[in-house]
């Protein structure tokens, strides 16, 4: 498998980003609707991605972005929430797992005061759950009736990796 790298986004990445952001299969488990044109995506990059404390493009060796990963601080300075999306063409190859391992190896040094990175995943999102587990996240619980996604009440699984957990090679 190619090495993955994480880098900051650029407005010029908007077209590459459309490959996952416009895909309804990719956004199915998230609260986002797929983007239908690049203009609102450009606004999202400008207003949310560029000023964000930790938002990275997932790149395969030498190529443009194939996905995005973000770690967003919450109202508690010790806790941040992970989000990840990958273009469907790159599913099933270990890219998400590799990206998550890379995030955990670097994010604590970058985000001051953060001691806990957590991820909320739909209980039926088996692929995402496997990637988190292989990257070393620990499942803490199933949170019942946690949120409404696309009109349906969902149970969500909460995973965490805290600053003192051991990185998985």
Q: Which residues bind other proteins (CB under 8 A)?
A: 75-79, 115-116, 118, 140-148, 153, 158, 160, 162-163
CA–CA separation, 120 and 29 (whole Å):
11
**Nearest distance from residue 115's CB to other proteins, in Å?**
4
For the bound state, the minimum distance from the C-beta of residue 86 to other proteins, rounded and expressed in Å, comes to 24
Helix then strand then coil, % of the chain, to nearest 5: 35, 35, 35
Going 103 to 109 to 111 to 113, the CA torsion angle's sign is: positive
Tokens 């998400």 correspond to 96
Complex with other proteins: residue 46 or 77, whichever CB lies closer: 77
- How far is Cα 73 from Cα 44, in angstroms, rounded to an integer? 18
Which lies closer to other proteins via its Cβ, residue 22 or residue 125?
Answer: 125
| Pairwise CA distance, residues 125 & 32, whole Å | 16
Cβ distance to other proteins smaller for residue 37 or 164: 164
CB 102 to other proteins: min, Å: 21
Nearer to other proteins (CB atom), residue 3 or residue 163: 163
Token pair of 93 as six digits = 């190859």
The minimum distance between CB 145 and other proteins, in angstroms, equals 4
């Amino acid at each position: 498998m190619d090495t993955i790298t994480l880098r900051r986004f650029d407005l010029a990445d908007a077209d590459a980003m459309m490959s996952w952001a416009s895909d309804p299969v990719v956004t199915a488990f998230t609260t986002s609707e797929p983007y239908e044109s690049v203009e609102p995506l450009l606004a999202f990059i400008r207003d949310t991605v560029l000023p964000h404390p930790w938002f990275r493009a997932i790149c395969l060796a030498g190529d443009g972005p194939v996905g995005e990963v973000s770690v967003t601080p919450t109202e508690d300075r010790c806790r941040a929430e992970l989000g990840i999306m990958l273009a469907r063409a790159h599913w099933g190859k270990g890219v998400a797992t590799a990206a998550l391992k890379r995030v955990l190896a670097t994010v604590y040094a970058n985000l001051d005061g953060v001691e806990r990175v957590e991820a909320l995943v739909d209980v039926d999102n088996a692929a995402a759950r496997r990637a988190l587990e292989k990257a070393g996240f620990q499942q803490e619980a199933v949170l019942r009736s946690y949120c409404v996604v696309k009109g349906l009440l969902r149970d969500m699984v909460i995973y965490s990796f805290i600053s003192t957990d051991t990185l998985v090679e």
